[in-house]
Amino acid sequence: MINLQDVLSSTHSFEDFEILKRDADIRNFIAKEIIETHQLPEAPLKLFSEGTNIVFAYGDDTVIKIFPPFHLDQFKNEFLVLKHLQGKLSVKTPTIKAEGEIFGWPYIIMDQLNGTLLETLWDAMNHDNKMIIMRELGSLIREVHSLPISGLEEIDCHWKHFIQQQINSCVEQHRSAGLSNALLEEIPSYLDSTKDSLIKIEKPVLLTGEYTPMNFLVKQTDGVWHIDALIDFGDSMLGLPEYDLLGPGAFLIQGDKLLLREFLNSYGYTSNELTPALSHQLMALMLLHKYSNLKIQVRIEDWKSKVHNLKDLESLVWGF
């Protein structure tokens, strides 16, 4: 018999959590305790294979998301932002059904949205449909950034402090991720040359930091795919708007300048505003992203052979 309190209270580190996540008996036992607590009707329980936390589909209409205590900030972010966004966007976001805590592990029960993850379709999607998606995505991010942020003070990262921390740790972050020494050596001067544009912030906006194809659900209408829902808000914070442009630029645009212009124009930039200074700022922020790992995030075939310095990389990914 599993003593759930002992198991959960002894899970202190990321490594411990990864071991726990691989144990189907323990995962299911946690979920069933939550199901019993809320007296949910009987339904099949299915683990989502991807994700930082433990996420189950329960039946056809419910998701149970379980966070270890050291991801308490992700729980708070998700809970606050889901409530904040409810009914305010042109696309769907999950509705919270319940939330709670089990032996110090917070969880959220929310409705499950229908649709297909954009990640599974993007590479095979025709270019015209990609243009439509980028247009919708630019408009959607502008919608989110236009919302008032009153009530979200708890997720404020204090942008200037956050970005300075990222600057201080940037070289080591990318060294750990295997970036070449030639590019590592350029990082300090590259960041310093645009530092004012990174730190200066006139009006913080709600950032998800995760506008990636893993967090969009799409649906097909008359043979065309459209963005239908936005999910996963665990990394949300308040900060500089341009930070949210990085995910689409890396994961979806993949160096395609037509898609890049469509996206940025739909977000609100005029053609005259697509300048070398903006390109430099976006590349610098890409280096500074909390989870920046260029080996994974630059989805341009054979990009390393095309890049001899950071300016080359900037031109490849952004460069207008």
Confidence (pLDDT) at 51: 78
Work out how many domains the chain is built from and give that number. 2
Contact (Cβ atoms closer than 8 angstroms) between residue 255 and residue 277 = no
pLDDT digits (tens, 9 = 90+) for 265-320: 999 999 999 999 999 999 999 999 999 999 999 999 999 999 999 999 999 999 98
| In a shared domain, residues 230 and 307 | yes
| In a shared domain, residues 272 and 221 | yes
Which of 76, 111, 146 finishes a domain? Answer: 111
What does the alpha-carbon distance between residue 219 and residue 200 come to, in Å, rounded to a whole number? 38
Confidence (pLDDT) at 220: 97
| In a shared domain, residues 170 and 87 | no
| Structural domain for 297, as ranges | 116-317
| In a shared domain, residues 254 and 158 | yes
| In a shared domain, residues 143 and 265 | yes
What does the alpha-carbon distance between residue 218 and residue 133 come to, in Å, rounded to a whole number? 9
Confidence (pLDDT) at 273: 97
Contact (Cβ atoms closer than 8 angstroms) between residue 174 and residue 292 = yes
Instruction: Identify any residues that bridge with 62 across adjacent strands, giving them in sequence order.
Output: 58, 111
What does the alpha-carbon distance between residue 67 and residue 233 come to, in Å, rounded to a whole number? 13
Instruction: Identify any residues that bridge with 226 across adjacent strands, giving them in sequence order.
Output: 219
| In a shared domain, residues 170 and 304 | yes
Please provide the average confidence, as pLDDT, over all residues in the chain: 95
Residue 212 structure tokens:
């990636």
The domain that holds 166 is classified in CATH as: 3.90.1200.10
pLDDT at 20 over 80: yes
**pTM over the 0.95 mark:** no
Q: In the chain, pLDDT over 70 holds for what percent of residues?
A: 100
Give the HSE-up count for residue 312: Cα atoms under 13 Å, Cβ half-sphere: 11
Contact (Cβ atoms closer than 8 angstroms) between residue 320 and residue 276 = yes
Contact (Cβ atoms closer than 8 angstroms) between residue 209 and residue 243 = yes
Instruction: Identify any residues that bridge with 66 across adjacent strands, giving them in sequence order.
Output: 54, 107
Place of tokens 């469509």: 262
The distance from CA 75 to its chain's CA centroid, rounded to whole angstroms, is: 14
Confidence (pLDDT) at 49: 79
pLDDT band of 1, cuts 50, 70, 90: low
